[in-house]
Structure 1
Amino acid sequence: MSLVSINPATGEKIREYEETSQNEVEVILRRAQNDFLSWRKTDFEHRNNLLYKVAADLRSNAQRYAEVMTEEMGKPIKEGRAEAEKSAWACEYYAENGEEFLASESVETDASKSFVTFQPIGTVLAIMPWNFPFWQVFRFAAPALMAGNVGILKHASNVTGCALAIEKIFRDAGYPEGCFSTLVMGSDRVGELIDHPVVKAVTLTGSTAAGKAVAARAGGALKKTVLELGGSDPYVILEDADLDQAVTACVTGRLINTGQSCIAAKRYIVVESVAKPFEEKLLEVLKGKIMGDPTDESNDIGPMARHDLRDELHDQVKRSVDAGARCLMGGEVPKIKGAFYPVTVLADVTPGMAAYEEEIFGPVASIIAVKDEAEALKAANDTPFGLGGAVFTDDVEKGELIATKVIEVGTCFVNDFVRSDPRLPFGGVKESGYGRELSQFGIREFVNIKTVYIR
C-alpha cells in the first residue's frame, strides 16, 4: 500500500509514498535498539552539540520547511516559518538545559550516600498529528534524544513529506541512523509497533479516541505513555475585562493554524452584561480576516488540512444552528477549489449543541453568554476536556486565583491566549490526556527515575 499527500488548497496530489514493509520495520527497530546502546553512553556535550546543529538547520531553512508544511496540510506560510523557528527554540532550550534537568539529586537518608539518577529507557515511539507537523515532533524528540533515548516517528498519513524532512534534519546533523527514524505507515499498524519489545514507551498527540486506544494497547504491555489529546478551551470573559484586549487574544487564539489547534480558543464564555459589546467587537475584527491561498503572506487563514475535516466541521455548525444557535458570520462552504471554510461565529450556544459539547477543530468561534461570574466558571468546567483555558479580568489577583484554583485544565492563562512554551510544562487533565511535555517535567517523562542507596 501507499500513503498519498494531497494539497488541501488545490486538491491536487503531491506524491505517493510506499509504506514501510514489515521487514523494513524490523530492521529499523533493531537498528534503533543497537544505536541506543551506544547513544546512551554519550556525554551531554556531544548530545547538545548535535541538537544545536538541528536548531541551526531549522532556522536557516525555515522557509523551505514552511513550504513543505503549507503544501501538505495548508498551514499559512508565515505560520510555517514560525513553527520551524519555534522547533529550533525547543532544540536550543534542551541543549542548554538538558544536563541540568537530568543531574542526579542527592537525598539525605541514613545511608552513607543516596541519590536519585535519571537514566534513559530506550526507544520511544512517537505517534504525531498533522496540525503542527514539525513542532509536535521536535517537542518530543529534543528532550528524548537529550535524555539518551532514541525515537521512532509514526507521523500522520497526510504529512509524510514533513516526516521524512525531519528525519533528514537529524541525519544531516550527525545523529546515528538509529537515533531517529520515520516509519511510513497507516494508523492500522500502530498496534504492532506498541507491542514490539524494542519499543519501551509511547507518546501520542491526537484525538481522545486515539489516546484511549493507544493507552489500552500500551497498558496491556505495561509500557509508559504520555497523551496530549483534544481540547475545548474556555476563554472566560468577566464583567471587568478589557474587551479590546480580550477580543484580540480570542481572535489570535481561535484562528492560529486556521483554527486547527488543540489549544485554540474554542468557547468564549461571556458574562451577559458585556456579551453584546464583546460580540460587536469580535465581529468587527473577524470580518477583517482574509481566507485564501496559504502561500500568500497577506492571508490570515488557509484551507483546512483535508476535505473530510472541513465537512465534519460544517456538519457541527449545521447541527448547532439547527439546535438554536445564531450564525453571525460564515457558516457556508465556499464554492471554490480546496478544503476552505470561512471564519464563522456562532452565538446563543447552549448545552446540548455540538458547538458546546464537542471539540470544534477549525475557524469557528462559539459565544456562550452566562448570567454572572459563577455561571461562567461553571460553564468553563462543563466539558470532558481539560487542556487549556484563559480568563480575562481587570483584577489580576482574582484572575490568578481563578487560573490556579478553579478552571480545570493543564494550562491556564490570564489576559492572554494559550500557547505552548519550551520553558513551561504542557499537557492536560480529564479527557485531554495525561503526562507532560516540555520544560524539566517533559524531559523526565521518559527516563528511569532511579534510586541509588549506598550503605
Structure 2
Amino acid sequence: MARPEFEDINPSTEEVIETYEGHETGEVIDAVEKADDAFDGWSDRSIEERESLLADVAEVLRDNTDEYAETMTREMGKPVSEARSEVEKCAWVCDYYAERAGEHLQDDRIGTEPGARTYVSYEPLGVVLAIMPWNFPFWQVFRFAVPYLTAGNVGILKHASNVPGCALAIEEVFDRAGYPDGVFTTVLAETDAVEPMLEHDAVRAVTLTGSNRAGSAVGETAGREIKKTVLELGGSDPFVVLDDADVDEAARVGARSRNLNSGQSCIAAKRFVVHQDVYEGFLERFVEEVEALNVGDPTDEDVDVGSQARGDLRDELHGQVRDSVEAGAEAVVGGEPLDREGYYYPPTVLTDVPDGCPASEEELFGPVAAVFRVSDEDEAIDRANDSPYGLGASIWTDDVERGERVAGRIKAGSTFVNELVKSDPRLPFGGVKKSGYGRELGRDGIREFTNRKTVWVQEAGE
C-alpha cells in the first residue's frame, strides 16, 4: 500500500501550500506503543511537575502566537485576528489547569464507618486517542490535551487531513515546552488507521469532535472494545429572542455568533427563534449587522469573514441553501457563492423557512442564519427543542429570571442568557442528543478520562 500524502491547500487562494508525507498503519501502531511506553514515567510524575510543564506550554504559545495564527489562517481560512485569539485561548486553558489541576484531581474524602478511611482517587487511564476537526485546529486539540495530559494520560492526535501543518505545530509546542518523548504525538494518517488504533490494547479511551457519522463509527468500535469515549458531534443551536429583549444588542451579538470563524462553528447561533412582537425590528437590525460584515482575504486584519475551509464544504452548504429556498425559504441576504478565487460563501439570512427543509432540519456549517417567527414563549421553546441536536442555546430577554426559566426548559448541554454560546476553561462543555456525550473543560473535563477509584482503608483490628 502506498504511503499516504496530505495536500495542504490554501482555501482562500486554492493554491497548494505543501504536500506532507503521512504515516502508514504500522507506523501509527508504533506511535501508540511508544506512547504506552511513555505512560508509566509520565503518570508517576507529581501533579506539580505536570502543572509546571503546562505553564511552559502557555509560554511557548504566547511567544509564537503570530506563527501559529498564520498557520491556521493559511490552512483553513480563519480570519487572522480570530486565529490569534484562538492561540491566546489555548494559552488560557493552560494557565487554568496549571493552577487548578491539582485541586480538581485531589482525593474526595467520603465518610462511611468508624475506623475506616474511605475516599475516591482519580488515576489516569493510559493512552488517549484524539480525533479532531479542522474548524478550530488549535483550540479543539488543546481543549482535550491540556486536561488529559495533566491528569497523567498520554495522547495520540489524529487531526483532520486538511490541517497537517497545525497538527505538526501542536506537537512541536509540547516538544518546545519540554514534554517527554511519547507523551503527545501527532500522526498524519488516513481514516482507515483509526480502527486499528482503537483496537490496540494500549489505547484506553478516545475523544472525537466531528460529524455524527464519524462519531457513530468511532463509538461503535470503542463500544465493541469497551473503551471510554467522549463525543462532541456538532449542533444547530437556537438563538431565542423573546418579546422583551434588547433587539439591537441581540441582533449585534447574533450576527457575530452566526459568523464567527466564517460561520464554521458547532456552537454558532444557527436557528434564530424570534417572538412575533419584535420579529420585524430584530430582522431589520440583524440584516444590517450581517450586511456590514467584511468578507475577504483572511490575512487582512479588517476582514470579518474569510473563505470556507474546503471547496466541497462550500458546495455542500450551498446545496442546503438552494434546497431550502426551493422549499419556500427566502434568502434576504446572500444565498449564492461569491464569484472570486477561493472557497468563499457570503453571510446569508433565510426567512420563511418551512419545516422539513435543510435549514430547519440539518446543521448548516457555514455563515447561514435561519430565522423563525413564533407567537409566544412556549412556541419559542418548542421550536428551540425541535432539533436532533442539543449542544448550546442562547436566550435574550430583559427579565433575567424569565431567561433562566426558559434556559431550564431547553434541552442542551449549555444555555446562555443574554450572551452568545461559548466554551470556557472553567466550565464543563458538551452536548446531549445527537450533539454527543461526555464533558470537556472545568473539573468535569479533567476527570473524564480517569479511573475514579474507591479506596477503603480499615484500621487493623476493626
Which TM-score bucket, shorter chain as reference? over 0.9
For 1:290 and 1:315, the matched residues in 2 are separated by 23
Equivalence for 1:401: 405
Equivalence for 1:357: 361
- Give the residue type in structure 2 aligned to 1:98: A
For 1:16 and 1:198, the matched residues in 2 are separated by 31
Equivalence for 1:145: 149
Equivalence for 1:328: 332
CA deviations on 1:399-454 (whole Å, 9 max, x unpaired) are 01111x20100010001110100001000000000000000000000000000011
| Correspondence 1:157 to 2:161 | yes
> 1:120 deviation in Å?
0.6
| Correspondence 1:307 to 2:306 | no
- Give the residue type in structure 2 aligned to 1:346: L
| Correspondence 1:42 to 2:45 | yes
Choose 107-116 or 233-242, whichever is displaced more.
107-116
- Give the residue type in structure 2 aligned to 1:75: K
Equivalence for 1:106: 109
CA deviations on 1:291-320 (whole Å, 9 max, x unpaired) are 100000011100000000000000000001
- The answer (yes or no) to whether the contact 1:9–1:340 under 8 Å persists in 2 is yes
For 2:365 and 2:445, the matched residues in 1 are separated by 26
CA deviations on 1:40-78 (whole Å, 9 max, x unpaired) are 100112111110111011112111100000000000000
Aligned match for 1:376, one of 380, 394, 397: 380
| Correspondence 1:78 to 2:112 | no
For 2:215 and 2:162, the matched residues in 1 are separated by 19
Equivalence for 2:57: 54
- The answer (yes or no) to whether the contact 1:320–1:355 under 8 Å persists in 2 is yes
Alignment of 1:142-291 (within 5 A): 142-291=146-295
SS state at 2:160 partner = coil
SS state at 2:454 partner = strand
> 1:31 deviation in Å?
1.2
> 1:27 deviation in Å?
2.2
SS state at 1:153 partner = strand
Equivalence for 2:36: 33
For 1:32 and 1:320, the matched residues in 2 are separated by 47
- The answer (yes or no) to whether the contact 2:274–2:374 under 8 Å persists in 1 is yes
- The answer (yes or no) to whether the contact 2:264–2:366 under 8 Å persists in 1 is yes
- The answer (yes or no) to whether the contact 1:325–1:349 under 8 Å persists in 2 is yes
CA deviations on 1:9-29 (whole Å, 9 max, x unpaired) are 000111111121233223211
For 2:101 and 2:352, the matched residues in 1 are separated by 48
SS state at 1:234 partner = strand
| Correspondence 1:449 to 2:445 | no
- Give the residue type in structure 1 aligned to 2:370: S
Unaligned runs of 5+ in 1: none
Normalised TM-score (structure 1): 0.99
For 1:284 and 1:2, the matched residues in 2 are separated by 44
Aligned match for 1:115, one of 115, 119, 135: 119
Aligned match for 1:439, one of 428, 439, 442: 442
SS state at 1:390 partner = strand
Unaligned runs of 5+ in 2: none
Equivalence for 2:350: 346
For 1:48 and 1:268, the matched residues in 2 are separated by 42
- Give the residue type in structure 1 aligned to 2:248: D
Choose 139-148 or 105-114, whichever is displaced more.
105-114
Aligned match for 2:18, one of 15, 22, 37: 15
Superposed CA RMSD:
0.8
- The answer (yes or no) to whether the contact 2:327–2:354 under 8 Å persists in 1 is no
For 2:278 and 2:393, the matched residues in 1 are separated by 19
SS state at 1:200 partner = strand
> 1:207 deviation in Å?
0.8
> 1:350 deviation in Å?
2.5
| Correspondence 1:317 to 2:344 | no
- The answer (yes or no) to whether the contact 1:350–1:368 under 8 Å persists in 2 is no
- Give the residue type in structure 1 aligned to 2:455: V
For 1:31 and 1:318, the matched residues in 2 are separated by 49
> 1:364 deviation in Å?
0.6
> 1:189 deviation in Å?
1.9
- The answer (yes or no) to whether the contact 2:235–2:363 under 8 Å persists in 1 is yes
- The answer (yes or no) to whether the contact 1:117–1:450 under 8 Å persists in 2 is yes
For 2:235 and 2:30, the matched residues in 1 are separated by 37
SS state at 1:177 partner = coil
CA deviations on 1:326-366 (whole Å, 9 max, x unpaired) are 11011111111100000111001131111010001001111
- The answer (yes or no) to whether the contact 1:391–1:414 under 8 Å persists in 2 is yes
Equivalence for 2:132: 128
- The answer (yes or no) to whether the contact 2:28–2:189 under 8 Å persists in 1 is no
> 1:188 deviation in Å?
2.3
For 1:194 and 1:248, the matched residues in 2 are separated by 44
- Give the residue type in structure 2 aligned to 1:435: G
For 2:368 and 2:29, the matched residues in 1 are separated by 43
Equivalence for 2:421: 418
Percent identical residues: 55
For 1:350 and 1:266, the matched residues in 2 are separated by 15
- The answer (yes or no) to whether the contact 1:3–1:186 under 8 Å persists in 2 is no
SS state at 1:302 partner = coil
For 2:257 and 2:282, the matched residues in 1 are separated by 16
> 1:149 deviation in Å?
0.4
